[in-house]
Structure 1
Amino acid sequence: MATARAERLVNLVLCLLSTRQYLTAEGIRRIVPGYADAPTDEAFYRTFERDKSELRDLGVPLEIGRNSAFDSVDGYRIARRDYELADIGLEPDEAAAVALALRLWDSPELTGAARGALLKLRAAGVEVDERASGAIEPRVRTSEPAFPALLAAVQSGRVVSFDYRRPNDPQPRTRTVQPWGVVSWRGRWYLVGHDQDREATRCFRLSRITDRPEAFGRAGAVSRPEDVDLLKLVAGVDRDPPPATSARLWVEQGRAQGLRRRASVVGQQRLDGVDGDVLEIELFYPDSAASWIAGYGPDVVVLEPDVLRKSVHEAHLGTVAAFSGAEVDG
């Protein structure tokens, strides 16, 4: 029974996350696997109310509303901007737990149920946001061009070579490395492995790789030593954290729950006729935080610092240009 409830909750979240419309309880009953088995209307509504309460207890932000003035009953949906989390730093044991959860999601039972929910959603004539179909599935996000080739080399166990530019040295130099793993640490990505030219263990920041890494040699020739902790090696290279930057943001009331979890409310302010809260947040990597904040659209406005405000504004202009196909003059 616990497994059936968990699958039903996953299907419900995926359904509400995948639609831009408000779905009524009866619509959800027809679409989401697990509800159609209710023997009576009363049994369905009891189950649905319990599921809604459980999702709220888990921090899932359910929105209630109507698609038009002609609708007679309320509907439900989940706004992606409030559901998604920002980048999270994990300890090694926490990362292991996430890996186990990812294996569970990859199981045929859950993926099959999720795909079935999307098919029923489309069959019911509900507009589905294609991007949301993978929002529940954990993903690794990185903008480093060298990342895919290095990860492939680690997974295949092959030696890799690339041109690498050291700090204060404008001339890149070729490195030949036995790759052990790719690690994220404090907003940066690193390759850890054995440098064959220097006969020593080295960490390489991906942003300093100037070309596309090339793998060569026999697959399976490289394996990570069992006693090596990749994260500790990287932490030893990047010991000093960057200074925190304090930012003040205006957030519309009831919006941007993901951001609110990391910030403190310090006041209220009415902006362009809309009531909102003034939040303070500490950012260690304002450059990467700008794209995260920009994702909340008009629900969040940067009050200060001015550099962050301009970065978010430029991100908004870039999004407009991408969708309009024209260059936008800021």
Structure 2
Amino acid sequence: MAERKSERLMNLIFLLLSTRQFLTKEQVRAAIDDYRASSDDAFNRMFERDKGELRDLGIPLEIGSFDPLHEDMQGYRIPRDAAELPELELTAEESAVIGLAAQVWEHAGLAGQSSDALIKLKAAGVAIDTSAVPLAQPRITAAEPAFDAVWEAARARQPIRFPYGRTGEEPVERHLQPWGVLSWRGRWYVGGHDVDRGEPRLFRVSRIRGDVRTAGAAGAYTVPEGTSVRDLAASFTVNDPVGEAVLHVRRDRALPLRRHALSVTPIDGDLDEVVVGYRSTWELASTAASFAPHVVVVSPPEARALAVEVLQSAVEANA
């Protein structure tokens, strides 16, 4: 219930922050699932509580008329200038945490309703400033059905078991005490204590080939003090890039690629040439393809060809 409430409040913030006009209660209700599924009385109570939560969080809620001809008809919005944070100076560790949080919200299981709510308002004729919600930028990603299950298990400190293996291989059942989930070089991984091997291991979520099942009670183990799943991921990978790739990237798009760019050179008013280091041609191609149509691989040619294959596969799968 607490998670559902948090998601609803986040959706409400996105809606009221993204609009330049006042939204009626009916527009807000139509855009957010929890509100829409409630009775009139339940919605009114829930909305009043949520408005109080926003005030308690220090988020200013502005009430005004959305119709100059009917000033008694009230609407709601969050003023951008009042809600924006002052300039922040973050340490490298703090920036890493915020970057990871942003990557988590890009996952379809967590960001879908927020994006849907914006789409519904836009369809209703409400002016939306999507620059206020950069996390809502869509990406083409392969489905990872096991993501939510391993995420919840890591949060609950609950042992799990699952069939695991590469495509074309016979999966083997693995037993894991998950410590955390992270995005590493464009892939989702779950790290923790491998019960079968008796040592820390890292598992790619997309290679989980079936249902994730519980193998113990919640809170059955503790994560060793000082553990970092990111450090665990680094210990299993080679850090040195094997080459450099040239990409054409639309302005203000593909922010994760830009964060790790070796150089960014404007081409025209809409495109930048972005040079990135890469360790795997397949990883480079699949990551670039996930940002289509805003990213085009220029070189190396083998990565460009692989990116085309990925997009063609996505089209066939959706067909």
TM-score relative to the length of structure 1: 0.49
Equivalent runs, 1:1-330 vs 2, <5 Å: 14-15=18-19, 28-29=20-21, 34=62, 36=64, 93-97=94-98, 121=121, 125-126=125-126, 136=135, 143-165=143-165, 173-198=172-197, 200-206=198-204, 208-236=207-235, 238-241=236-239, 243-250=241-248, 256=253, 258=255, 262=261, 264=263, 278-294=273-289, 297=292, 300-318=295-313, 320-321=315-316, 325=319
Q: Partner amino acid for 2:125?
A: G
| Native 8 Å contact 1:162 1:174 kept in 2 | yes
SS in 1 for 2:227: coil
Secondary structure at the residue paired with 1:282?
strand
Partner of 1:107: none
Q: Matches of 1:241 and 1:226 in 2, distance apart?
A: 25
Distance 1:158 1:246 in 2: 41
Residue number in structure 2 paired with 1:19? none
Q: Distance in 2 between matches of 1:208 and 1:267?
A: 38
Deviations 1:216-263 (A, max 9, x none): 333322232334333333333x142253432233457x6758466636
- Compared with structure 1, are the counterparts of its residues 144 and 286 closer, same or farther at alpha carbon in structure 2 (3 Å cutoff)? farther
Letter aligned with residue 155 of structure 2? Q
Match of 1:71 in 2: none
Task: Write the distance in 1 (CA, Å) between the matches of 2:222 and 2:142.
Answer: 24
Provide, for residues 180-219 of structure 1, a one-character-per-residue CA deviation record: whole Å limited to 9, x for no partner: 3334444444433334444x33213225544433213333
Contact 2:245–2:300 (Cα < 8 Å) also in 1: yes
Mapped to 1, the partners of 2:193 and 2:254 lie a distance apart of: 43
- Conservation of the 8 A alpha-carbon contact between 1:245 and 1:286: no
Cα pair 2:248 2:272 within 8 Å, conserved: yes
Q: 2:191·2:201 contact (CA, 8 Å) conserved in 1?
A: yes
**In 1, distance between residues paired with 2:285 and 2:219?**
40
In structure 2, the residue corresponding to 1:310 is in which secondary structure?
helix
Question: Where in structure 1 are there 5+ consecutive unaligned residues?
Answer: 1-8, 16-27, 38-49, 59-89, 103-113, 326-330
In structure 2, the CA distance between the partners of 1:125 and 1:215, relative to structure 1 (3 Å rule), is: same
- Identify which range, 296-305 or 93-102, moves more after superposition: 93-102
Identity %: 34
Count of aligned positions:
240
Q: Cα distance, 1:304 vs. partner?
A: 1.9
Bigger radius of gyration among the two: 1
Pair 212,179 (structure 1): closer, same or farther in 2 beyond 3 Å = same
CA contact (8 A) 2:254 2:295 kept: no
1:290 counterpart SS class: helix
Return the alpha-carbon distance in structure 2 between the equivalents of residues 234 and 295 of structure 1: 22
| Alignment-mate amino acid for residue 231 of structure 1 | R
Deviation at 1:285, TM superposition (A): 4.6
Report the Cα offset of residue 93 of structure 1. Answer: 4.1
In the alignment, the residues of structure 2 paired with residue 95 and residue 225 of structure 1 have an alpha-carbon distance, to the nearest angstrom, of 21
Cα distance change, pair 226–136 in 1 and its aligned pair in 2 (3 A): same
- Return the letter of the residue paired with 1:14: S
Question: Using the alignment, how far apart are the partners of 1:138 and 1:299 within structure 2?
Answer: 11
RMSD: 5.6
In terms of mean alpha carbon deviation, does 260-269 or 202-211 score higher? 260-269
- Secondary structure of the 1:308 match is helix
Structure 2 letter corresponding to 1:202: P
Instruction: Mark the CA change 1:277 to 1:216 in structure 2 (over 3 Å): closer, same or farther.
Output: closer
TM-score normalised over the length of structure 2:
0.50
> Match of 1:219, SS?
coil
Structure 1 residue 311: Cα displacement: 2.7
In structure 2, the CA distance between the partners of 1:242 and 1:152, relative to structure 1 (3 Å rule), is same
Measured in 2, the distance between the counterparts of 1:276 and 1:158 equals 46
Q: 1:36 to 1:310 in 2, by over 3 A?
A: farther
Which runs of 5 or more structure 2 residues have no equivalent in the other structure? 1-12, 24-60, 66-79, 104-113
Task: Tell me the alpha carbon deviations over residues 118-158 of structure 1, each in whole angstroms, 9 at most, x when there is no partner.
Answer: 699469634879x999864799x885444333223223333
